[in-house]
Amino acid sequence: MKKRLQSIFTLVLTLVLLFLVIRRVGLEELLTTLRGADPVWLAISICLSPFLILVSVIKWRLLLNSQGIEVPTWRLYALYLVGRFFNYFLPTNFGGDVVRGYALGKYTQHGAQAMASVFMERFTGFVMLVVFAVVASLTNLDIIRETSLAPAVGLAVLILVGVLWLILDIRPLNLLAGLIRFPFAQKFIEKLRKFHNSINAYRKDRKVLVIALFWSTIFMILAILNVYTSAKAFGQEVSLAEVSVITPIILCVAMVPITINGLGIQEWAYVLLFSWVGMPESLGLSTILFIRAKDVTLALIGGLLYPVLAIKDNRNLVNEMGVEDLLEEKQPQVVK
């Protein structure tokens, strides 16, 4: 009951924020901006989206290879799309990561390592996001003060420090294990230990961590270009330098897990920051709506791939069984 009420509250808050931001911009002005879209820039922006995912998939595969796990790139790409699909139906930005980590664990039979690879893929991306956001904030202090977004960037830094502490220090987990002694809880804590050990295994391979951070930097550059090309489709007076400043801050704000996949929160951030750098609010809202449309399209593809992957995994299990076993199962017993 509590989870249902929480889900209802999240849905209502999401819808209210979307309504308020559209009301602020004005529906007529929004439609006018959308109707003036440049098809060439729309096409460029659409073509860029698959490469954003590909960069993350390449990084994910490198992290898996570091743990001695080989998975085809196409499967990781498909699982990434599946994660996108579930992100639009779970009230946080991380629900899809749990799904793709679980699915990868079933496929590889290494659940802890699979979850650890998903975590590190996201965490290395988060590290570079915070770095970009802090640099943008420190070089443009007025944007933080006047838009009241300093708490969002500060919260991102605190989360980064906190997660690093939990990764590097085993004492919090030991303390939790000492406080909770129920058999069921101990089983869960044991899984957490395996997960923690799998994450710390990456400390032995610093080269792969450096490469992962490199790919995270490439991802951030492409994310900025994604916003730039999407905005360019609805307004020619768009500065790449200004977009480079506001995009990391927007992405930090979007990670606040109070609405479904950041819906409403991210729209407000686009409207506020686009207007702050002198661009129309309708341009900011049009940009994020177009980006949302691209994301939803990719997410729907992930939704279609999810049952296909499940069926393929079941077939693999069947193929691993002996032919005699299959024949024995299919042939009916003769009653004398």
> Where do the domains of the chain lie?
2-22+40-313
Q: Which residue from 288, 292, 253, 254 is spatially nearest to 271, judged by alpha carbons?
A: 288
CB atoms within 10 A of CB 118: 26
pLDDT confidence of residue 315: 52
H or E element at residue 79: helix 73-87
| Total number of residues shown for the chain | 336
Q: How far apart are CA 224 and CA 43, in angstroms?
A: 16
Euclidean distance between the first and the last CA atom of the chain, given in angstroms as a whole number: 55
The pTM assigned to this predicted structure is: 0.83
Q: Enter the tokens of residue 104.
A: 């990868």
Residue holding tokens 């690879």? Answer: 117
User: Tell me: the pLDDT tens digits for 43-72?
Assistant: 999 999 999 999 999 999 999 999 889 999
pLDDT (tens digit, 9 = 90+) per residue, 158-171? 888 888 888 888 88
Distance CA 209, CA 117 (A): 11
The arithmetic mean of pLDDT across residues 81-109, rounded, is 81
How many Å apart are CA 66 and CA 121, to the nearest integer?
A: 12
pLDDT of residue 323: 36
Question: In the structure encoding, which two tokens stand for residue 199, read together?
Answer: 């994450």
| CA atoms 86, 92, 97, 99: torsion sign | negative
DSSP 234: T
142-171 burial: b if 16+ Cβ within 10 Å, else e: ebbeebebeebbeebeeebeeeeeebeeee
Q: At what angle do helices 39-66 and 111-139 cross, to 10 degrees?
A: 130
Residue scoring higher pLDDT (138 or 312): 138
User: How confident is the model over 297-309, as pLDDT tens digits?
Assistant: 999 999 899 888 8
CA dihedral 153, 242, 30, 84 (to 10 degrees): -50
